[in-house]
Structures are given as C-alpha cells and as structure tokens.
C-alpha cells in the first residue's frame, strides 16, 4: 500500500514538473486554476479506486 502511494506521489510531481517546463518553453500556458482541480480529481479517483480494490479483496 505504501509503495503505491509513493509511486502516485512521484507521478504527480513529474507531471507537475513537466507542465511547468512546458509553460516555461511556451508550449502551453499553465495556470494553477487549471492544475489544482485536475489534481484533486486525480487524487479523488485514486482514493476511490484504492478503496474499491481493498473492498474486493476482502470478499
């Protein structure tokens, strides 16, 4: 369980870093108002999928 959380956190940081790099290179404009809701959606989906996986193992 802890390993999957670590991998998820690493992926989030990499995606944010790549996004800011693309912003600096003028590939696209990155605004926190767009990034924050997306991160919350991804985190929520990760939590829901994780709890669904744990629930199916217990049955």
pLDDT, residue 47, reads 78
- Each residue's pLDDT, cut to its tens digit, for the chain (59 residues) gives 557 777 777 787 888 888 788 878 888 777 777 777 778 888 788 778 777 776 666 55
Crossing angle of the two packed helices 2-24 and 32-58, in degrees rounded to 10: 160
Contacts 24+ apart (CB under 8 A), 6-15: 8/46, 12/39, 12/42, 12/43
Q: Which is it for the CA torsion 13, 16, 21, 24, positive or negative?
A: negative
pLDDT, residue 38, reads 79
């Amino acid at each position: 369980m802890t390993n999957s959380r670590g991998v998820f956190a690493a992926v989030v940081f990499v995606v944010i870093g790549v996004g800011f790099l693309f912003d600096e290179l003028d590939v696209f404009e990155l605004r926190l108002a767009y990034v924050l809701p997306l991160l919350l959606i991804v985190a929520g989906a990760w939590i829901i999928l994780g709890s669904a996986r744990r629930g199916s193992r217990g049955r």
